[in-house]
Structure 1
């Protein structure tokens, strides 16, 4: 299948980042590289590229720098008991228009806000985000990101890469999800069933599935 060109990244949230990195590397033959810390929010991430301007984010608790007392931990990482492909992001050409369209179609992502993090090399990445917790429609519809003038993380030198072969979903209300996808002009095959995303990857050690 063709992966939507607006795909920015998949979010694989885990309760133990070190354990998840080891398991992913053992299963795929590719070792994710450090992305950075989300200071004050209690999380850090590692990345694997998909080629172009898309990547996989594996995000988990930052055991050394926990969240501020009044912070919302991204993607419910602090409540996870097992790894999960929780949602995905797209980079629309106009994030304000996309946020309005998503809300009108039934997936209100809340206000667009600025965020930033430092890479391990000290470079500052800045972006704008429309995302809320809990995610509307169980995270099956995407949240929105705009990197502005920041270099896209998928283009970072030395980022290991895998091939994203397919991204599909199921949802108990499969009619509601396509309405949002149409409003955002993005494509995702959705069938009936429990809320779930499934990513099929081609790796040096063969096919690998994230759910």
Structure 2
């Protein structure tokens, strides 16, 4: 589904991950309660430069009327240190919002799945992120 979003050859944010801390138990229950399906969990991992392991699982909801605008979900399992603790510092999120042609429907689905991402109306789907950096604000979409 991301091919359509990147056809123009320009960089885009095409999806985003939300963290799960319970091996997806609540999320899977919420997805199933809405009559939708999910794919996963899919185990993944890598070796850090220091030789330590980082392991995670991914889960995606499917079969919803607006799958294209849903995040995917990640559980970092027992990875230590957590990747956010070992990532480079210096930037922070100022704002994050999803724009969509069907904002009420997307917002309702987000609430049912426990997703707190803000949604605004727009003629096209996009993910809009503003970072605070040492050199000022950076806008990505």
Q: TM-score, normalised by structure 1?
A: 0.54
| Residue 88 of structure 2: aligned partner | 159
> Per-residue CA shift, 1:172-209, capped at 9, x if unaligned?
22122112321232322212221101001111111110
Alpha-carbon distance in structure 1 between the residues aligned to 2:79 and 2:95:
28
- Number of residue pairs the alignment of both structures matches: 132
Asked if structure 2 preserves the Cα contact closer than 8 Å seen for 1:165 and 1:201, the reply is yes
Asked if structure 2 preserves the Cα contact closer than 8 Å seen for 1:107 and 1:137, the reply is no
Q: TM-score, normalised by structure 2?
A: 0.77
Which stretches in structure 1 are left out of the alignment for 5+ residues? Answer: 1-74
Equivalent residues in 2 for 1:1-211, closer than 5 Å? 81-94=9-22, 95-102=24-31, 104-105=33-34, 108-131=37-60, 137-138=67-68, 140-151=69-80, 152-156=82-86, 159-193=88-122, 194-211=124-141
Deviation at 1:108, TM superposition (A): 4.0
Deviation at 1:105, TM superposition (A): 4.0
Deviation at 1:166, TM superposition (A): 0.5
What's the RMSD between the two structures over aligned residues?
Answer: 2.7
* Runs of 4+ more than 6 Å apart: none
Alpha-carbon distance in structure 2 between the residues aligned to 1:204 and 1:179:
36
